[in-house]
Amino acid sequence: MRLAILGGSFNPLHIGHLALADAVYATENYDKIAFIPAFLSPFKKEHSGCTAKDRLQMLKTAIQDVPYFSYEDCEIKKEGISYTIDTILYLKEKYKSSLEGKIGLIIGEDMIKDFPLWHRYKELKESVDILVGFRPLSEKKTAAEFSYTQIENAVLPISSSYIREAIKKKKSWRYLVPATVYEYIIAKNLYD
């Protein structure tokens, strides 16, 4: 099995996350794309608006009907800050009998500059194939001190922070998230 992962807060998961994961599946010959929600990102102090359990549940409902999407809740179960290299090592061990090649690590273009600052960066870059999704206004490959594959993804100007703000300010946001995520947010009165 060829596995790629997309980690993040997913606070909330939105269609941009799904479109990027789908682009990797469609163009890069991975069998599974696993979403890995962070309990707490090393780059964020806290997750506003909902719990880790809420974020995981929204993710599960959004991907439940896509056979090549899965999730790993190892970082949420661990609690605290998780580092990508530790998650990669965990997944390599978990799937050692079925894993083919390196795990693909999906990151956004905005992370290229700071990627060398990630915990155990040198070990991480040797352990994975780095797959970079591009953001609005990016026209060409960004220079980096590591090799990566540029994903040809639909560029959607959406962010979780925009959605949270739109909910607070009673602006339109319904179609920026999967229907199941919208329903969950409304039912639980999240981000209000």
Which tens digit of pLDDT belongs to each residue from 143-155?
788 999 999 898 8
CB 1 within 8 A of CB 97: no
Structure tokens at 71: 């999730």
CATH class of domain segment(s) 3-188: alpha beta
CB 6 within 8 A of CB 35: yes
Q: Which one is predicted more confidently, 141 or 8? A: 8
CB 73 within 8 A of CB 56: yes
CB 7 within 8 A of CB 78: no
Q: What global pTM score does this model have?
A: 0.93
Please report, for residues 61, 103, 122, 126, 156, the alpha-carbon distance to residue 96 in angstroms, rounded to integers and kept in the order given. 27, 11, 22, 17, 35
CB 88 within 8 A of CB 124: yes
pLDDT for 13 equals: 98
Going from N- to C-terminal start, the domains of the chain cover: 3-188
